[in-house]
Amino acid sequence: MIGSGPGGAYLAKRLTEQGRSVILVEAGPVVRTRDFHKDAGSTLSQYFMEGGLRRTAGNLYMPTMQARCLGGGSVFNSAICMRTPQFAADKWSRDHGVLGIDPAAMDPYYERVEQFMGVRKVDPSIQGRRNELFRVACEEVGINPTVIERNEEGCRGSSNCFNGCPTRAKKSLDVRGVPEMIEAGGRVYTSLRADTLLMEGHRVRGIEGYTVEPFSKRPGQRVRITAKCTILAAGAIATPVIMQRSGIKRDPVGRNLQFHPGTALMGLFEDEIAPWSGATQGYHCLDFMEEGIKLESLWVAPSLLAFRFPGIGKRLKEMLSRYNHMASWAVWVSGEDSKGRVRARGRAGHDIQYHIAQKDVQRMQDGMAKLIEMYFAVGSRAVYPGVYGLPDEISDASGAELVQRAKLSPKNFPIASNHVFGSTSMGEDPARHVVDSSGAAWELDDLYICDTGIFPSTPAANPMLTVMAIADRMAETLESRY
């Protein structure tokens, strides 16, 4: 198993418990609680791919963060657990022929994962002012706030998911999944990067790679691991690159790359908000998901948000001095009209192209407009959109219409996305898809893929829970095949 994110680690645990001999290979290091930083820059540079500077090129430069450590994205994500809704699953069956993905059919797999990962609603005692304001704002403008569900036990609301949970209340895969796998006899090799697949004609026989010094990332010893069955779960960017580097040049490999692009808006209040207290993300609004728009309350470290503040010198200083009076809410969009591609480049690199469609830009503007309306409905004094081509500061609710109608191009936006899909997509047409509905690679033997790259299009929901439910189903399939 290559990659210990939610897809790989969970599947490795299930297979080991079924009595299989499993080796879980992870390029990154183990991160202990005492290794977590409060400072986002250090978190990014130590535990994220390309030091947190991974980005797409195309019609915009979009940062996209993928963690590089035992547990993958689950260590630094907000732990939001959400099932893929019916309308998105219908699209996977209708447009890609994916079998058995209907929510009713997936229900037992989701249930098992939810139970194991401790998925629960954010407790009211740790919502904090920023999240509560989001809830009230939704109600004021006549839309429905929904309490977020997360994989955690005993969260104290330190708003620090992004830097790694300081109390380990977040049940990321390194603390839930990998320990159970080891207990059941599985082996885990960290700081070992898979480079290529071992191929014998159409048969995949394992991987070749090399050890990596955990922090300098210097390559060390060459390693070869042979296996009856190889599963790539290195994430939607790395998995297709490993395949391409192994000489698998089939057209769909690396194509059809999709994201959930998003942006955050800050709102200023008269009262103190202390936005850093409470759950990182406590409420979301699901009313516009079928239109491709999701709204969430959000907190991340100042170093990641404040770079979008207007002004320099005295004005910037003033803005920063009001930070404790601000809330931050985010919009992300389905990105269903936007496409990209990832290609291996040179010995160890890759190139990510992404073209965001005007329809998705408009979805973003519509979502931002809704957030502006919400901010002023609960007494915000100013909203800072941080988008080139819009006013620095919006001082009343009429700004919502202005934002919605502005003629903006993708390059105007400071968009980012950490939800990545489609680059090794699942479906029943070998010409368009890389794996079939069971996760088995088309036209190759003994190779499976289990990361979010197999989602054939964007899932509308936050993706972690779905990749784990698919992993749970895949464990059943593999049990009957090996």
Ligand X SMILES: Cc1cc2nc3c(=O)[nH]c(=O)nc-3n(C[C@H](O)[C@H](O)[C@H](O)COP(=O)(O)OP(=O)(O)OC[C@H]3O[C@@H](n4cnc5c(N)ncnc54)[C@H](O)[C@@H]3O)c2cc1C
- Contact residues: ligand X, CB under 6 A: 2-8, 25-28, 65-69, 72-74, 76-80, 162, 193-194, 233-235, 238, 242, 418-419, 451-452, 462-464, 467
> To the nearest whole angstrom, how small is the minimum distance from the Cβ of residue 11 to ligand X?
9
Would you say 79 or 390 has its CB closer to ligand X? Answer: 79
Would you say 6 or 340 has its CB closer to ligand X? Answer: 6
Would you say 10 or 269 has its CB closer to ligand X? Answer: 10
Pair of tokens at residue 320:
């920063």
Ramachandran bin of 100, using left for φ above 0, alpha for ψ from -120 to 50, beta for the remaining angles: left
The amino acid at residue 279 is: A
Closest to 443 measured CA to CA, from 239, 281, 260, 248: 248
> To the nearest whole angstrom, how small is the minimum distance from the Cβ of residue 38 to ligand X?
15
> To the nearest whole angstrom, how small is the minimum distance from the Cβ of residue 370 to ligand X?
20
The amino acid at residue 283 is: Y
**Which residues on adjacent β-strands are paired with residue 263?**
331
H/E stretch holding 238: helix 238-245
Distance (Å, rounded) from C-alpha 108 to C-alpha 102?
11
Are 277 and 128 in contact by the 8 Å Cβ rule? The answer is: yes
Would you say 74 or 425 has its CB closer to ligand X? Answer: 74
Would you say 160 or 437 has its CB closer to ligand X? Answer: 160
> To the nearest whole angstrom, how small is the minimum distance from the Cβ of residue 127 to ligand X?
16
For 378, 381, 404, 467, the CA distances from 394, given in Å and listed in that order, are 15, 9, 13, 39
Would you say 152 or 446 has its CB closer to ligand X? Answer: 152
Would you say 28 or 261 has its CB closer to ligand X? Answer: 28
> To the nearest whole angstrom, how small is the minimum distance from the Cβ of residue 6 to ligand X?
4
> To the nearest whole angstrom, how small is the minimum distance from the Cβ of residue 118 to ligand X?
14
> To the nearest whole angstrom, how small is the minimum distance from the Cβ of residue 408 to ligand X?
25
Would you say 79 or 408 has its CB closer to ligand X? Answer: 79
> To the nearest whole angstrom, how small is the minimum distance from the Cβ of residue 4 to ligand X?
5
> To the nearest whole angstrom, how small is the minimum distance from the Cβ of residue 93 to ligand X?
21
> To the nearest whole angstrom, how small is the minimum distance from the Cβ of residue 264 to ligand X?
12
Residue carrying the six token digits 């690159």: 241
Distance (Å, rounded) from C-alpha 69 to C-alpha 76?
10
Are 339 and 353 in contact by the 8 Å Cβ rule? The answer is: no
Distance (Å, rounded) from C-alpha 69 to C-alpha 348?
18
HEC assignment per residue over 381-428:
CEEECCCCCCCCCECCCCHHHHHHHCCCCHHHCCCECCCEECCCCECC
Would you say 72 or 292 has its CB closer to ligand X? Answer: 72
Long-range contacts of 207-210 (CB under 8 A, 24+ apart): 207/2, 207/25, 207/242, 209/25
Contacts of 181 (CB under 8 A, 6+ apart): 9, 12, 13, 16, 17, 22, 24, 188
Pair of tokens at residue 40:
């986002």
Angle at 305 between CA 300 and CA 308, to 5 degrees: 170
Closest to 331 measured CA to CA, from 275, 282, 263: 263
Are 49 and 237 in contact by the 8 Å Cβ rule? The answer is: yes
Would you say 69 or 248 has its CB closer to ligand X? Answer: 69
> To the nearest whole angstrom, how small is the minimum distance from the Cβ of residue 431 to ligand X?
24
Would you say 135 or 193 has its CB closer to ligand X? Answer: 193
